[in-house]
Structure formats: structure tokens, C-alpha cells
Amino acid sequence: MFVDNEDLTADVLRGAYGRFPSGVTAVCGLVDGRPAGIAASSFTSVSLDPPLVSLCVAHTSTTWPALRRASRLGVSVLAEDQGPVARALATRSPDRFTSVDWVAEPPGSVFVLGAALWLECRIVQEISAGDHVIALLGIDRLSPHSAVPPVVFHASTFRSLAEI
């Protein structure tokens, strides 16, 4: 049974989009000497040559306007035990880094300790798309932590991967 366009409310769409499992990233940088960051599950690889990834951020984000001023952004693919980190970074609290173990790298990228992957990025382009902006990020360097399993976000719940 299909839901017609006129019935596609935000709740209906959120539930539908939640059927697709995704990883969860922390996108962070130093802004005015302090860490700023968001949690983003709408993150994807884009290109191998040049190395590009993208993420989608709501136009209503109060953190993205500050983050986009950072000289570099640290993208941390969160580990299976870092659901609480994602929840902390998803809040509007100014103290969202209080319970997050993080490290800053020159020239200002911020990474979550214990994550499955770190990508140091710069903003290449921003594209307005509906109620979000698609941020295209160029990867300048990366640090994989292959022994660390990532967290998966599915149906509004953090989950672990399982081999089948």
C-alpha cells in the first residue's frame, strides 16, 4: 500500500527513511577555539578521485553555520558503543562535548576518540536541497581503525552489525 504525496508528512517520511540503516558520524571542528559538532546519519561516500564524501544538514541547524567557518572538519564514523555520543551531539546544548572524549588536530579538525574512522575534510561545495543543505566535503587525510565496529542507526535505534 502506497502513501500518496499529499499524505507524506514529516513523521511518515521519517519512518520511511528510518527503514534504511545507516552509519552515524560526528562532524566536528574548532570554532573560536572551542569544539563544535553535529551528529549526522545522512553521510555517504561520493567519489574516489577526487576523494569526496557528503552529508546533509537541516537548514534549521544552529550549529552548521558555525561549523562551516572551521578551517577543517573532522568526520568520525562512530563506533558501536558510541550511541550516547551521537545523542549528545544531536542536542542543542552548548555543553554537548562534556561527555564526549575528543581530540583536536591542526588546523582545527576535531575527532571523537574510539571511533571506527576519522576523515579530515574541507568544505568543497554546499547545495541547497529542500529543507537541507548537501555539504560536499573533500578528504585531505584519513585514519581507519579497522578493529572498531561502527554503530548502525535503524528505525530510530542504535544497533550493532552482525555477520550473517
Give residue-wise pLDDT tens across range 98-124: 999 999 999 899 999 999 999 999 999
Give me the pLDDT at residue 162, please.
86
Give me the pLDDT at residue 92, please.
86
Give me the pLDDT at residue 74, please.
98
104: part of which helix (H) or strand (E)? strand 102-105
Within 2-161, where are the H helices?
A: 10-17, 64-67, 83-90
Is the per-residue pLDDT at 14 higher than 90? no
Angle, CA of 34, 61 and 49, to the nearest 5°: 80
Torsion sign across C-alpha atoms 33, 110, 39, 46: positive
Is the per-residue pLDDT at 55 higher than 90? yes
| Third-level CATH fold of 23-152 | Pnp Oxidase; Chain A (2.30.110)
pLDDT tens digits along 59-101: 999 999 999 999 999 999 999 999 999 999 999 888 899 999 9
Read off the pLDDT of each residue in 123-147 and give the average, rounded to a whole number.
97
Give, as one character, the DSSP assignment of residue 57.
E
CB 100 within 8 A of CB 85: yes
CB 121 within 8 A of CB 114: no
104 CB-near residues (< 8 Å, 6+ apart): 30, 35, 110, 111
Give me the pLDDT at residue 93, please.
85
Distance CA(133)–CA(30), nearest Å, equals: 21
Is the per-residue pLDDT at 142 higher than 90? yes
Give, as one character, the DSSP assignment of residue 94.
T
pLDDT tens digits along 22-47: 999 999 999 999 999 999 999 999 99
